[in-house]
Amino acid sequence: MTDVPNLLNCPECDNPLKTEKELRKGLLIECSACGIENEIISLDPLKLAPLEEEK
């Protein structure tokens, strides 16, 4: 099992995302590089979607 891709990358800037929380659908992970919040929309396969934030 050495070919597991690093799936937790920011969709916006490709920065590796870290979270100490258990991965689950709906979990929000903020990217430390670009500050965007990404929501886990699917666990299998693992998919992230950036939360659109209105300014």
Residues that bind Zn ion (CB under 5 A): 10, 12-13, 15, 31, 33-34
Give the gyration radius of the chain's Cα atoms.
11
Smallest separation, CB 4 to Zn ion (Å): 21
Cα(12)–Cα(39) distance, integer angstroms: 12
- Closer to Zn ion by CB, 3 or 52: give it: 52
Smallest separation, CB 44 to Zn ion (Å): 23
Residue 43, beta-bridge partner list:
46
- Closer to Zn ion by CB, 2 or 29: give it: 29
